[in-house]
Amino acid sequence: MDTLQNKVAFITGGTKGIGYGIAQSLIKQGIHVAITGRNLAAAQEAAKSLNQDSKNSAKAIGLEADVRDLESQEQAVKQVIKQFGKLDIVIANAGLGHFGSIEDLTKDQWNETIDTNLTGVFNSIKASISALKETKGYYITISSLAGTNFFAGGSAYNASKFGVTGFTQAVMLDLRQYGIKVSTIMPGSVSTFFNGNEPDESDAWKIQIEDIGELVVDLLKMNPRTLPSKIEVRPTMPSSK
């Protein structure tokens, strides 16, 4: 994308964590941002904070949407286009984690993980293909190093993120004929509220949410002829624990 000014981005799970960090970075570039969450008040409050911090004409809106529901994603995309007139960038970020041995993992935990982390990405992309064909836009999914490295207690999360990684790569091949770029970012440890974590100074060694935001901006600024389709990113130094 040669210029980012007045582009329009749709970010799922954008009320906090990685999604919010990406929204902050895009707003700084003059990109209008729509963030979604399951709770409308939280989405609107996050959008309000983004607008208060904005130093340019870019605006943020908060929408209630559930990535597990294709119709909900379709309605959210329609709202974005109604508000801003187009859609250029989709960040499929919403996710959660349930961890534990397969002996203890429940059916509901499995379903919620797969429905949110994997089917949610399918729904977000499926709902917006027509819009991104018009703008020759960019899809970025947020996978994880857990999408290529399995670990004990991670059966549901690993399955969802391995799925996101493979799904995104196949979608990239499906859609590049339309001038649509597709990438997946696979972070290691990030300082967020994920899985009940409360970020503090002990998380300083981790990737910070603004680092992922900067990476997204770098991808969007890359020459259209070049596509980093899968990006692994990890802390420079491991935890001292």
Domain contains 209? yes
Q: Which amino acid is at 14?
A: G
Q: Is residue 238 part of a domain?
A: no
Mean pLDDT check: name the lowest of 24-33, 137-146, 198-207. 198-207
For the chain, the average pLDDT equals: 94
57 to 31, 52, 201: CA distances (angstroms): 9, 11, 33
* pLDDT tens profile 86-115: 999 999 999 999 999 999 999 999 999 999
How many structural domains comprise the chain?
1
Residue 13 lies in a domain: yes
Does residue 3 belong to any structural domain of this protein?
no
Residues marked active site are found at 157
Quick count: other Cβ atoms within 10 Å of Cβ 76?
A: 24
Q: How confident is the model at residue 203 (pLDDT cuts 50, 70, 90)?
A: confident
Cα 195-196-197 angle, rounded to 5 deg: 95
DSSP 40: H
pLDDT tens for each residue of 30-77: 999 999 999 999 999 999 999 998 888 999 999 999 999 999 999 999
Higher pLDDT, 162 or 205: 162
Higher pLDDT, 148 or 204: 148
**HSE-CB for 136 with a 13 A CA cutoff:** 7
Task: Please return the burial class of 99, using the count of CB atoms within 10 Å of its CB with bins 0-12, 13-18 and 19+.
Answer: middle
Tokens linked to 81: 């286009």
Question: Does residue 241 sit within a domain?
Answer: no
Confidence at residue 1, expressed as pLDDT on a 0 to 100 scale: 47
In a domain, 178, yes or no: yes
Token duo for residue 177: 């004929």
Whole-angstrom distance, CA of residue 23 vs CA of residue 197 = 21
Instruction: Name which of 25, 212, 45 is nearest 7 in CA terms.
Output: 25
- For residue 14, the domain's CATH number is 3.40.50.720
CA 110 vs. chain centroid, Å, equals 21
Q: From CA 207, how far away is CA 76, in angstroms rounded?
A: 30
Would 113 be classed as within a structural domain? yes
Give the residue numbers spanning the domain of 148: 8-233
At 189 the pLDDT is: 86
Tell me whether residue 28 is in a domain: yes
Question: CA nearest 123: which of 70, 168, 79?
Answer: 70
Q: Is 195 left (phi over 0), alpha (psi -120 to 50) or beta?
A: left
